[in-house]
Amino acid sequence: MKSGTSKRLLWSWTPESLREADDAIVKNLWLHWFPGTVTRRSISFTYSFWLGTISAVLFAILTITGIVLMFHYTPSMERAYTSMKDINYAISYGWFFRSMHRVAAQLMVVTVLLHMMRVFYTRAYKRSPGNLGNRPFNWIIGIFLLILTLALSYTGYLLPMDQLAYWAMMIGTSVAGSVPVIGGYVQTVLTGGTEIGQNALLRFYVLHCVVLPFATVVFVAYHMWRIRKDGGLACMDQIVLRKKKDTASPASTKTYSLLGIARGVDVSVKTSSHLEEEDLIKSTPNVMRRVWLVTLLTLIVTIALSIYFKFPLEAPADPAMAPNPAKAPWYFLWLQELIADTTFTLFGITFNGAFLGGVVIPSIVLIWLAAVPYLDRGSTRSNGIWFPRERLRQNLIFTLVVLVILALIFIGAFCRGPDWIFYWPWEQWPVAPIKF
Ligand code: HEM
């Protein structure tokens, strides 16, 4: 037996040549996802840590577990909380699917952020040396994906309609309402009225289950397509640069074009990538095996965490009784902290920080992030390399911004007690007065 039964069971096909590998991607829908060949560095764990793929796998887990939850959840003010209770305590394995959904949502926020940091630190947002495609644009698509990920997580937060959900929702919509001129309108559009009730719940449900997942699928598909169009992962640029240096340019002899079809000084075809056979490995089975491995590991970690962590429901939402302190989800705590820090009283007038802390500062951070590829005028030499020396300044500024955000999240999570007063994590809070 040439390949052996076990080998055939585990992997049925390995292309014999690069030509066969390239042919396969046009014949097979699944293989079409990847190029026929890639560089070794592209698939090494130490380059990308596969964080983009892990984020995509988590999104798939969220979609599947979300559909299971949708069979049992009712988006109405009367039934939302009780249907969540049914899922948690009455329906077989309901707690498990809910737990997996919550764990995957938190993990996805973390992995998308880490993926963005990886792309920044490896300067993978710049065009390739051959000026192929448009990586800066793919970085901007990535920023939309980050916003979509946060929006998906946040809109899901309201659905259980418990105290945690209701008050996190109040904080979010009042920040939107603080935008001058259009704020009130945005708030009304989000909540479907003047208070958080049936209209708000239905709007968040439709956004969470239809609009945002659909937009995410479209953006992820485009993001992946762009990677191919942009000349592959940025680590390839190093090989291209090396090869370019080694290859002498063809001498300019005649200036004619081949019947106007091929532009240039001669009729020799220049390869766009400069990559040769020895630089490449076949995607099948090398990339495919790793994709399955990453998928399996992500699934195992998500399942393990879902069994370990319990997510009890809080008391049903009560508009008359605000928990004190009422905290936003952890990934928005830095904004809540900024809002508190930028709220101050001067000559008896209180200036509300919701606009400055909740709208202006995060908008500046987002605009700065979007502009990063265009502000960076460095050389292609540092594309696809972790922490290159010549980018020390940029990396320090980026790390500083990340650390400030993490510090604000830490303060919001562990150092804020009733009335948002500062306490050290080891200090005892006074008994919280309940606000009416
Ligand atoms: C739902 C969220 C996202 C998904 C599913 C996703 C998926 C991916 C995947 C699978 C890759 C291939 C390399 C890898 O696995 O790391 C990739 C590369 C890339 N991603 Fe994302 N991504 C997401 C969000 C983002 C964000 C937030 C940014 C930046 C703001 C970004 C920018 C990029 C860029 C520029 C590349 C090319 C990297 C290179 O050439 O090395 N992505 N993404």
- Residue-wise pLDDT for 356-387, tens only, equals 888 888 899 999 999 999 998 888 888 889 99
Q: What is the mean pLDDT of residues 57-81?
A: 96
Tally the residues of the chain.
436
Give residue 269's pLDDT.
45
At position 106, the amino acid (one-letter code) is Q
Residue 419 has pLDDT above 70, yes or no: yes
How sure is the predictor about 249, in pLDDT bands with cuts at 50, 70 and 90?
low
H or E element that contains 254: none
- Kindly tell me the sign of the dihedral angle through the C-alpha atoms of 255, 258, 260, 262: negative
Q: Is residue 26 part of a domain?
A: yes
Q: Is residue 253 part of a domain?
A: no
Residue 209 has pLDDT above 90, yes or no: yes
Would you tell me how many other CB atoms lie within 10 Å of the CB of residue 386? 13
Residue 226 has pLDDT above 70, yes or no: yes
% of the chain exceeding 90 in pLDDT: 46
Total number of domains in the chain: 1
Q: Is residue 261 part of a domain?
A: no
Give residue 244's pLDDT.
72
- Kindly tell me the sign of the dihedral angle through the C-alpha atoms of 234, 236, 238, 241: negative
Q: What is the mean pLDDT of residues 226-230?
A: 90
Residue 411 has pLDDT above 80, yes or no: yes
- With beta carbons less than 8 A apart as the criterion, state whether 295 and 63 touch: no
233 lines ligand 1 (CB under 6 A): yes
Residue 27 has pLDDT above 80, yes or no: no
Q: How far, in Å, CA of 17 to CA of 416, rounded?
A: 62
How sure is the predictor about 268, in pLDDT bands with cuts at 50, 70 and 90?
very low
Q: Is residue 250 part of a domain?
A: no
% of the chain exceeding 70 in pLDDT: 88
298 lines ligand 1 (CB under 6 A): no
Would you tell me how many other CB atoms lie within 10 Å of the CB of residue 429? 12
Give residue 70's pLDDT.
97
Token code pair at residue 419: 């009335």
Give residue 433's pLDDT.
54
Q: Is residue 429 part of a domain?
A: no
Q: How far, in Å, CA of 332 to CA of 327, rounded?
A: 9
- With beta carbons less than 8 A apart as the criterion, state whether 376 and 123 touch: yes
State yes or no: cis peptide before 213, omega within 30 of 0: no
Q: Is residue 310 part of a domain?
A: yes
111 lines ligand 1 (CB under 6 A): no
Where in the sequence is the domain holding 358, given as residue range(s)? 19-244+281-420
Q: Is residue 399 part of a domain?
A: yes
How sure is the predictor about 7, in pLDDT bands with cuts at 50, 70 and 90?
low
Predicted TM-score (pTM) of this structure: 0.88
Token code pair at residue 238: 């190093």
48 lines ligand 1 (CB under 6 A): yes
How sure is the predictor about 261, in pLDDT bands with cuts at 50, 70 and 90?
low
Residue 436 has pLDDT above 50, yes or no: no
Q: Is residue 433 part of a domain?
A: no
Q: Whose CA is nearest to atom 17 of ligand 1?
A: 52
H or E element that contains 49: none
Higher model confidence: residue 434 or residue 391?
Answer: 391
SS3 content of the chain, % helix, strand, coil (to 5): 60, 5, 35
Higher model confidence: residue 173 or residue 59?
Answer: 59
**Per-residue pLDDT reduced to its tens digit, 149-186:** 999 999 998 899 998 888 888 888 887 777 777 878 88
- With beta carbons less than 8 A apart as the criterion, state whether 84 and 107 touch: no
- Residue 237's domain is classified under what CATH number? 1.20.810.10
Give residue 271's pLDDT.
47
Q: How far, in Å, CA of 235 to CA of 383, rounded?
A: 7
Higher model confidence: residue 266 or residue 332?
Answer: 332
> Measuring CA to CA, how many Å separate 51 from each of 43, 117, 294?
12, 10, 9
* Spacing, Cα 52 to ligand 1 middle (Å): 5
Q: What is the mean pLDDT of residues 269-279?
A: 59
Alpha helices in 71-191 (DSSP H): 80-89, 94-121, 135-158, 163-177, 183-191
Interior/surface letters 250-263, b for 16+ CB within 10 angstroms, e for the rest? eeeeeeeeeeeeee
* Spacing, Cα 374 to ligand 1 middle (Å): 18
Would you tell me how many other CB atoms lie within 10 Å of the CB of residue 284? 21
Would you tell me how many other CB atoms lie within 10 Å of the CB of residue 207? 19
Nearest 5°: phi and psi at 351?
Answer: -95, 120
Q: Whose CA is nearest to atom 9 of ligand 1?
A: 52
- Kindly tell me the sign of the dihedral angle through the C-alpha atoms of 224, 229, 231, 234: negative
Higher model confidence: residue 242 or residue 108?
Answer: 108
145 lines ligand 1 (CB under 6 A): yes
173 lines ligand 1 (CB under 6 A): no
Q: What is the mean pLDDT of residues 186-201?
A: 86
For the chain, what is the mean pLDDT? 85
- Kindly tell me the sign of the dihedral angle through the C-alpha atoms of 71, 76, 80, 83: negative
Residue 257 has pLDDT above 70, yes or no: no
